[in-house]
Amino acid sequence: MSRPNLIFIMSDDHAAHAISAYSGGRINKTPQLDRLAAGGIRFDACFCTNSICTPSRAAVLTGTYNHVNGVTTLDTLMDNRLQTYPKLMQAAGYQTAVFGKWHLGHGPLHDPTGFDEWAVLPDQGEYHDPEFLYLDGRRTIEGYATDIITDMSLDWLETRDHSRPFALMVHHKAPHRHWEPDAKHASMYENETIPEPHTLWDDHATRSAAAAAAKLHMMDLDEADLKAPVPEGLTPREEVSWRYQRYIKDYLRCVASIDDNIGRLLDYLDDHDLTENTIVVYTSDQGFFLGDHGWFDKRFMYEESLAMPLLMRYPKEIEGGAICEAIVLNVDFAPTFLDLCGIPVPEDMQGTSFRPLLSGDHPDGWQRSMYYRYWMHRDRDHNVPAHYGVRTMTHKLIHYYNDPLGQPGAHGPVDPPEWELYDLEADPFEIDNVYAQPENADLVAELKGELARLQAVVGDEPYVT
Ligand SMILES: [Ca+2]
């Protein structure tokens, strides 16, 4: 039997609630992503283990947590000698390529390795007429990043060795800040009002002081984000609403271009008889606040940031329209891809293959909780505190240990430790921190025990004052 191909599409900061297969189309329509979901499986509890670009990308590639792979913050680059799933696939005879955003560093120790061909954006890269880095230098390509990354992917598919299986990574830059749409989508939503999220007016009253001090509010969006002067004469509340519309429309315009380009890839597979034997994956390196809690950006362990969209299509093993509510993590991707392609999963990968979940099996003992850690205390731009925590199927316990710990890109001062507890069933939007309520003492003790257990399992150190 021929080995499957893999197309792994990862965008940057695309929250699941901006995909209509997830949201039912509350704020936008994504027909091509919905096409992928209809032909495959939608994961409703896929989480990142550290909600920023570089660390999540390292976790995806290596199948390990950030305290193990060393990529804890945006200022820690990935050592390209680490074991990654593309390297293992290449060694097993797969043709491999990556096009688009890399954001794991550049130069001899950080450029992509394990790929037959690559072209990546330097750092964040540009939306318009972007420069790309190649093995043999830099070239600027005219056009729009999302289109170009797809063009490169299609060209590579066309010119590949057709006698061998392939693993193609399509890593979109969009819809990362500053959300610059292309001309085709520039006037989309122009005469519409996008619905505001349920928690746009969250007053953060019960949240920890450190979390409430984050600079992610609509009022923290700058000129490059808004791309227009704030109209005069608005009340403070009107200004927040105006800023939200400016932000979300550009964000959704960038998403619309991704959606169109996914359609081009899916069409190519259909037209070349590749659909049946190709695993197609769509995800984003983390989630994003789309005005939720009054915020943009990510970093926090709250649901909108923690959750990654995950859609997978593979007709040989996945029934169309399936939905999976089991917890899967970014560290589980690498072992799953290897498993699906018949390549042994190395013992030192910390994630677990979730291949059984694809066909509806639910293995006994499958994870019912997950460990999260954000290290980049009080980063200059966003002021989000360092924290770790545990999310179970029903609750979330967050410990703001509030210490930079000398991590690159983290800053002081050290603030007093704080805790938050959310009941995800009673309070799915995480408005009421119920940590201090006496009746929750037993639950808090239980969750602290689970947090300690998970830290021991993954080999991370608990914070000690
Ligand atoms: Ca990102």
The tens digit of pLDDT for each residue in 241-288 reads 999 999 999 999 999 999 999 999 999 999 999 999 999 999 999 999
Share of the chain above pLDDT 70, in %: 100
How many angstroms does the Cα of residue 53 sit away from the middle of ligand 1?
A: 4
Find the 56 Cα to ligand 1 centroid distance in Å.
8
Give just the sign of the alpha carbon dihedral 258, 52, 368, 346: positive
Mean pLDDT, the chain, whole residue set: 97
52 CA from centroid of ligand 1 (Å) = 5
3-state secondary structure of 21: helix
Q: Residue 304 C-alpha to ligand 1 middle, in angstroms?
A: 13
444, with CB counted inside 10 A (0-12, 13-18, 19+), is middle
User: What is the pLDDT at residue 309?
Assistant: 98
Tens of pLDDT, residue by residue over 329-357, are: 999 999 999 999 999 999 999 999 999 99
CA of 8 to the centre of ligand 1 (A): 16
Do the strands 387-392 and 369-374 form a parallel or antiparallel pair, or are they unpaired? antiparallel
CA of 318 relative to ligand 1 center, distance in Å: 28
The strand ranges marked E within 242-291 are 278-284
CA 294 – CA 272 distance, rounded (Å): 46
Give the model confidence (pLDDT) of 391-442 as tens digits.
Answer: 999 999 999 999 999 999 999 999 999 999 999 999 999 999 999 999 999 9
Helix/strand/coil for 399: strand
What average pLDDT does the segment 212-216 reach?
95
Query: How many angstroms separate the alpha carbon of residue 13 from the centre of ligand 1?
Result: 4
Cα 76 to ligand 1 centre (Å)? 15
CB 220 within 8 A of CB 291: no
Ligand 1 centroid to Cα of residue 51, in Å, is: 8
The DSSP letter of residue 426 is T
The β-bridge partners of 120 are: 100, 133
Q: What is the 285 CA–ligand 1 centroid distance (Å)? A: 5
Question: Is the four-CA dihedral 378, 51, 302, 22 of positive or negative sign?
Answer: positive
CA–centroid distance, residue 180 to ligand 1 (Å): 15
395 Cβ contact list (under 8 Å, min separation 6):
421, 422, 423, 424, 443, 447
Block residue for tokens 């009080």: 378
How far is ligand 1, taken at its centre, from the CA of residue 20, in Å? 20
pLDDT digits (tens, 9 = 90+) for 152-188: 999 999 999 999 999 999 999 999 999 999 999 999 9
Q: Is the pLDDT of residue 382 over 70?
A: yes
Calpha distance 43→47 (Å, rounded):
10
Q: What is the DSSP letter of 2?
A: P
Mean pLDDT calculated for residue range 4-12: 98
Nearest to 150 by CA among 295, 11, 297, 18: 11
Reference 19, options 308, 271, 437, 274; nearest CA is 308
Distance 174 CA to ligand 1 centre (A): 9
Its sign, for the CA torsion 203, 300, 304, 146, is positive
> What pLDDT was estimated at residue 2?
86
Residue 134 vs residues 90, 111, 120: alpha-carbon distances, Å? 19, 9, 7
Task: Tell me what pLDDT residue 465 has.
Answer: 82
Report the C-alpha gap between 447 and 436 in whole angstroms: 14
Residue 44 Cα to ligand 1 midpoint, Å, equals: 19
Q: How far apart are CA 254 and CA 174, in angstroms?
A: 6
Task: Say what percent of the chain tops pLDDT 90.
Answer: 98
Q: Find out whether 243 and 221 touch, Cβ atoms under 8 Å.
A: yes
1 pLDDT more than 70: no
**Bridge-partner residues for 415, per DSSP?**
none
Residues 90-119 have a mean pLDDT of 98
DSSP SS3 for 27: coil
- CA 188 – CA 195 distance, rounded (Å): 15
The CA 367 to ligand 1 mean position distance, Å, reads 25
What are the residues facing 97 on neighbouring strands? 117, 168
pLDDT of amino acid 434: 98
Looking at residue 25, the DSSP 8-state letter turns out to be S
Please tell me the distance between residue 381's alpha carbon and the centre of ligand 1 in angstroms: 15
Q: How far away, in angstroms, is 47 Cα from ligand 1 center? A: 13
Distance 131 CA to ligand 1 centre (A): 19
Can you read off the two tokens belonging to residue 151? 């063009």
Rounded Cα distance between 388 and 459, Å, is: 14
380 by Cβ neighbours in 10 Å (0-12 / 13-18 / 19+) ranks as exposed
List the one residue out of 162, 165, 181 whose CA is nearest residue 173: 181
Residue 216 neighbours by CB distance under 10 Å: 22
Q: Report the separation in Å between the CA atom of 129 and the middle of ligand 1, taken as the mean of its atom positions.
A: 21
Cα torsion 292, 298, 299, 304: sign: positive
- Gap from CA of 297 to ligand 1 centroid (Å): 9
Ligand 1 centre to CA of 283 (Å) is 11
Dihedral pair phi/psi, residue 455, rounded to 5° = -60, -40
Non-local (6+) Cβ contacts of 402 within 8 A are: 210, 377, 385, 386, 387, 414, 415, 416, 417, 418
- 109-145 pLDDT, tens per residue? 999 999 999 999 999 999 999 999 998 999 999 999 9
